Homo-oligomer: A and B are copies of this chain.
Amino acid sequence: MRGFRGRTAVVDLRNRSVKLLDLERSFLSQYVGGRGVSSALLYSLLPSGVDPLSAENILIFATGPLTGTIWPSACRYIVSAKSPLTGALGYSNAGGYFGPRLRMAGVDFIVVKHASDSPVYLLVEDGRVEIRDAADLWGLTTRQVTEELQAEFGSKASVTAIGPAGERLVKISALINDEGRAAARTGMGAVMGSKKLKAVVAVGDKPVEAEKPEKFRQISKFAFKMAANPDKVGELSRYGTSFLVAPKNEIGDLPTRNHYDGTFEQGKQLYAEIVHEELGIKKAACFSCPIGCGRRLKLALGGLEVELEGMEYETIAALGSNCANADARAVAEMNLMCNELGLDTISVGVVLAWAMECYERGLLTKEDTGGLEIRWGDVEVMKELIRMTAHREGFGDLLAEGVHRASQIVGKGTEKYAMHVKGLEIPMQQPRAVKMFALGHATSNRGADHLYALPTICYPHLREEARKYLGLSDEELDELTDVASWKHKARAVVFSENLCAAADSLGVCKFPTVETYAVTPELLAQGYGALAGAGVTTKDLLEVGERVVNLERMFNFREGFSKKDDTLPERFTKEPLPSGPFRGSVVELEEMLEEYYRLRGWEPETGAPRAETLAMLGLPPSRQAL
């Protein structure tokens, strides 16, 4: 099919019916696709106050207009619902092949309503969606279910599935597609589990065509070349995101011991070069990606050798330094376990680190843990806890609630050590060292997340991009690129959040654009324009992003979220960073937030978008009926 019609399958799991429709053109032009469309649909379709694990919640799989095309790294899909972990709008985003396959199978969006009584999976093929029985698949790990379904539909079938964790409504559970690509954040796995939806299989190979095919081919070819520019993406290509461990450790930005510190004394054991050599890690790539930040390595699992997709920086830090663990092989094994069981490695690392710190401080005892001693860096206990969490066994049943709820249940002051924002576990940045991430974590509508804003534009090597997009003077650029200063970080975060929301809506990976600017936003706008057969400028794209951010904020506001939730643990705002070049630093959150709200046109007292701000963006949206 040419262009992007917003082909949507509305699947009702209660009635076992599937309705097919195209979204309205004007709705698509406002929200583009992917995250934009899924957020807008959820805002339209969900009343406030819905229990996220009830049948009333709605689960959406969404591709973007570029997903599955020849555009570089256009491999992303979004899975979205009200989050059982946070109570806010939830979504997660993954690469691999599932998104492209979905489009090649002729479907752009799947909207799943209600719940099934018995396990099912969805088969997407030839522009149709079928609800199929999954009784035999229930209980399997993500790898097993993928293998089963590929045995039936061939190796070109792409599968996204939950593991035992999602089935058990673990609130930090993930979807895993293509044997290791994770849509992990905000507990979308549990929503699938609550609907008894084990997996979605996409079978198709119809090429996705642009409205202006020749122009699109030309621009894509150029963008492909740009995305492979070694000056921009060399490190990422060579070591994947794990290249970050070394520089982060050196500037005090490697979360260590439950985000207490930013420097890990044994950090070198986790540096990319060493880990790659020690574990024999090889390169891998998602659909249509010239960078190839993915990694593959082989590990023994229950006597068998299996190939694992991993390890990503976030996982290395979450299950490594943040738990005071320097054993890279153990990190890999836990990574594999999380993938198999269907768990978010970031959330798992944070909830384990919380347990370790609380145990060390005597706030958790063997009475709480069912006899387990939970000590820093004890990898055997960590593995046991991961297994128990996925199965909600014993103390794992508590951890399965996520760090925020777990700490509230335990009480006794453990709340102070729960590293979360809006209920989502904080990923692997040390906000006292890199202030732009401090603000980005606080403002993110889905809770603390490094990919929501990804404000790398503050780094000195992207100074010219900052000059171009943020309109700052030389003096202001000096302050911006001083990552430990709070100055101008609000401007960078607003811009980056908008650009990220646009990328998430287009279906492209953020690494070529927001992370590295190898593919400029201008090029991205041109590519989308050629795909959609419309004139699209960078400003248009940024406006779409801004609209999506505002809409998501409105969703959350309706659920009771406000300024009080745009916050950070006191650890970041009150405890001076113990080590590294920015030793002594704390986060000046109030100052940054004030500027951020002002730049966003949000109320300073509540953080809610002003009516005028919404009006300027053409919000509230026209409600899309399904």
> A471 — which chain B residues lie within 8 A by C-beta?
598-599, 601
A300 at the interface (CB under 8 A from B): no
Contact call A522/B615, Cβ cutoff below 8 A: yes
- Nearest B residue (CB) for A30: B535
- Contacting residue for A598 out of B472, B613, B617, CB 8 A: B472
CA distance A485 to B520 in the complex (A): 38
> A625 — which chain B residues lie within 8 A by C-beta?
none
> A180 — which chain B residues lie within 8 A by C-beta?
none
- Contacting residue for A540 out of B26, B543, B612, CB 8 A: B543
> A472 — which chain B residues lie within 8 A by C-beta?
598
- Nearest B residue (CB) for A535: B26
Contact with B along A184-221 (1 / 0, CB 8 A): 00000000000000000000000000000000000000
Which of A547, A610, A613, A616 lies at the interface centre, i.e. has the most chain B CB atoms within 10 A of its CB?
A616
> A610 — which chain B residues lie within 8 A by C-beta?
468
> A468 — which chain B residues lie within 8 A by C-beta?
601, 610, 612-613
- Nearest B residue (CB) for A612: B468
Which of A472, A594, A615 lies at the interface centre, i.e. has the most chain B CB atoms within 10 A of its CB?
A615
| Min C-beta distance of A326 to chain B, whole Å | 44
Instruction: Decide: A521 near B26, CB < 8 A? Known: A468-B601, A468-B610, A610-B468.
Output: no
Contact with B along A332-373 (1 / 0, CB 8 A): 000000000000000000000000000000000000000000
Contact with B along A123-165 (1 / 0, CB 8 A): 0000000000000000000000000000000000000000000
A116 at the interface (CB under 8 A from B): no
| Min C-beta distance of A27 to chain B, whole Å | 9
> A522 — which chain B residues lie within 8 A by C-beta?
612, 615-616
> Which residues in chain A, 502-544, are within 8 Å of chain B measured between CB atoms?
520-522, 525, 534-540, 543
> A230 — which chain B residues lie within 8 A by C-beta?
none
| Min C-beta distance of A601 to chain B, whole Å | 7
Contact call A535/B618, Cβ cutoff below 8 A: yes
- Contacting residue for A543 out of B539, B546, B612, B618, CB 8 A: B539
- Nearest B residue (CB) for A473: B598
CA distance A205 to B49 in the complex (A): 55
> Which residues in chain A, 469-493, are within 8 Å of chain B measured between CB atoms?
471-473
CA distance A616 to B520 in the complex (A): 10
Instruction: Decide: A615 near B538, CB < 8 A? Known: A468-B601, A601-B468.
Output: yes
| Min C-beta distance of A456 to chain B, whole Å | 18
A408 at the interface (CB under 8 A from B): no
Contact with B along A241-258 (1 / 0, CB 8 A): 000000000000000000
> A17 — which chain B residues lie within 8 A by C-beta?
none
| Min C-beta distance of A62 to chain B, whole Å | 20
> A26 — which chain B residues lie within 8 A by C-beta?
534-535
Contact call A543/B537, Cβ cutoff below 8 A: yes
> A535 — which chain B residues lie within 8 A by C-beta?
26, 29-30, 618
CA distance A183 to B471 in the complex (A): 36
Instruction: Decide: A616 near B543, CB < 8 A? Known: A26-B535, A29-B535.
Output: no
> A595 — which chain B residues lie within 8 A by C-beta?
473
| Min C-beta distance of A472 to chain B, whole Å | 7
CA distance A546 to B540 in the complex (A): 12
| Min C-beta distance of A501 to chain B, whole Å | 14
> A617 — which chain B residues lie within 8 A by C-beta?
537-539
- Nearest B residue (CB) for A539: B543
Contact with B along A583-606 (1 / 0, CB 8 A): 000000000001100110100000
Contact with B along A538-562 (1 / 0, CB 8 A): 1110010011000000000000000
| Min C-beta distance of A510 to chain B, whole Å | 19
CA distance A534 to B29 in the complex (A): 10
Contact call B473/A616, Cβ cutoff below 8 A: no
> A536 — which chain B residues lie within 8 A by C-beta?
618
- Contacting residue for A521 out of B520, B537, B601, B616, CB 8 A: B616
- Nearest B residue (CB) for A547: B537
Can you identify 12 A-B contacts, CB atoms within 8 angstroms? A26-B535, A29-B535, A30-B535, A468-B613, A471-B598, A471-B601, A537-B543, A537-B616, A537-B617, A537-B618, A538-B618, A539-B546
Taking A520-B612, A539-B617 as known contacts, 6 extra A-B pairs with beta carbons closer than 8 A to each other, sorted by chain A number, are A26-B534, A471-B598, A472-B598, A522-B615, A536-B618, A543-B543
